[in-house]
Amino acid sequence: MTAQPQHSAPDAYDPTRLTATLLKLADRHDLDVGEAEAAFGAIMDGAVPPEHIAAFLMALRVKGETRDELLGAVTALRARMHPVPAMPEDTLDVCGTGGDHYGTLNVSTAVAFVLAGLGVPVAKHGNRAVSSRSGASDVLTALGVPLSPGAETHAAWMRDYRAIFLAAPHHHPAMRHAAAVRKMLALPTLFNLVGPLVNPAGVKRQLIGVFSPRWLEPIVDVLRTLGSERVWAVCGQPRDGKTGIDEITLAGPTLAVALEQGQTCQFVIEPEMAGLAYAPVSAIKGKDAHHNAATLDALLHGAAGPYRDTVLLNAACALHIAGRVSILRNGHIDPTALQESVAQAAFSLDSGAALAVLNGLRSSSAMHTPET
């Protein structure tokens, strides 16, 4: 069984306290970490009515959310999550915030298979679609991959396949209290940013795609505060788009903020550095879960094109975060090293190693039933 979270019993819901918080936000005053943690804690303990949750999230959005508010939210949710124990120290997560409205194919999910095929331990945290058509959990379900089956099975799959996939509802049941409101709002809220920062496997290495460049530094700073070792937060800047994209993109430059050896640095990733051709975002446009799953399956069977190249570019950078390669020189991308890393990622696909991970997990699906 999954370990249970440890936190004290919640206080009774106090409408007066939340009203004071809403008034503070309406006056465009920021919450400190403690205030944000208390408010998000009350929401996730089921103590706040949906209309008040919606008002709170929109008040934050209109004011403009802050680093301290994000840290408070993450701290509250980590205190209530069901953790996954006994994962390798160098386990990695690749995850996007969503909320970029591009509706692309599932890049980070494909990257997880590529990395696992190279022996990198991956604990991929994801959810069903909230503001997009197909989230990671939707695609994995369509592929026949079991989600969050329990601690003993997690350990076995990590040993055998170097990959586990963690469905947020199994590990963050407290999030259910905000789920309907998030679906109703159908726009990015602070919860989009919280998700990638609360991996239940306790990973300390992450590649995080972010929908807005303004959040790159705050996300890295929050994770550094919480003990992460190596993190890249990235936001693509498509030439054919109006907003950022939560992937390292072929459609233009990607802005990155990295935590490396306790220090942060900023740099830009261009697809040309990796020896990859420009491709517009429309070239990796996704559809529903079954379409995206079929396209990912085709990728693992050798399909070429912009989707493959996008996955390779993201995987190549993730290999650096995993400590398998070194592609930064004096705080900037070394194109030669990046191209060598792309070649390593391509080997995972071309050798069938990434596909073997998928097939191994599929074969296990008949023997394990996910927890409910």
Say how many CA atoms lie within 13 Å of 300 toward its Cβ. 25
Query: Is 182 known to sit in a ligand binding site?
Result: yes
Q: Is 275 annotated as a binding residue?
A: no
Determine if residue 130 is labeled as part of a ligand binding site.
yes
Is 80 flagged in the annotation as binding?
no
Is position 181 annotated in a ligand binding site? Answer: no
**Rg (Cα) of the chain, in Å, rounded?**
20
* List of residues 6+ apart from 193 with CB closer than 8 A: 65, 70, 73, 97, 210, 215, 219
- Is residue 96 marked as binding? yes
Q: Is 368 annotated as a binding residue?
A: no
User: Is 17 labelled as part of a ligand binding site?
Assistant: no
Q: Give every CB contact of residue 353 below 8 A, 6+ residues apart in sequence.
A: 117, 118, 347
109 among annotated binding-site residues:
yes
CA dist 94 and 115 (Å) reads 10
Q: Is 262 annotated as a binding residue?
A: no
Phi/psi at 236 (5° precision): -70, 150
Instruction: Kindly give the interhelix angle for 107-117 and 289-300, rounded to the nearest 10 degrees.
Output: 30
The answer to the question of whether 129 is labelled as a binding residue is yes
104 is in an annotated binding site: yes
Strand ranges (E), 182-333: 205-209, 230-236, 254-260, 263-269, 328-329, 332-333
Write out the two tokens for 79: 């205190």
CA distances 15 to 11, 12, 55, 190, Å, are 12, 10, 13, 21
**Residue 127 annotated as binding site:** yes
352 is in an annotated binding site: no
CA distance 215 to 234: 9
Give the angle 135-137-139 at the CA atoms, nearest 5°.
75
In the block, residue with structure tokens 């090293």: 337
User: Does 117 appear as a known binding residue?
Assistant: no
Residue 124 marked in a binding site: yes
**% helix / strand / coil in the chain, to the nearest 5?**
50, 15, 40
Q: Residue 99, annotated ligand binder?
A: yes
Question: Is 246 a known ligand-binding residue?
Answer: yes
Pairing of strands 263-269, 122-126: unpaired
The backbone torsions φ and ψ at residue 262, rounded to the nearest 5 degrees and listed phi first, read 80, -5
Amino acid at 282: S
Annotated binding residue 294 = no
CB neighbours (10 Å) of residue 8? 7
| Dihedral (CA of 361, 363, 369, 372) sign | positive
Residues making up the annotated binding site for anthranilate are: 96, 127, 182
Give the residue numbers of the binding site for 5-phospho-alpha-D-ribose 1-diphosphate. 96, 99-100, 104, 106-109, 124-132, 136
- In the annotated binding site, the residues are 96, 99-100, 104, 106-109, 124-132, 136, 182, 246-247
Residues annotated within the binding site for Mg(2+) are 108, 246-247
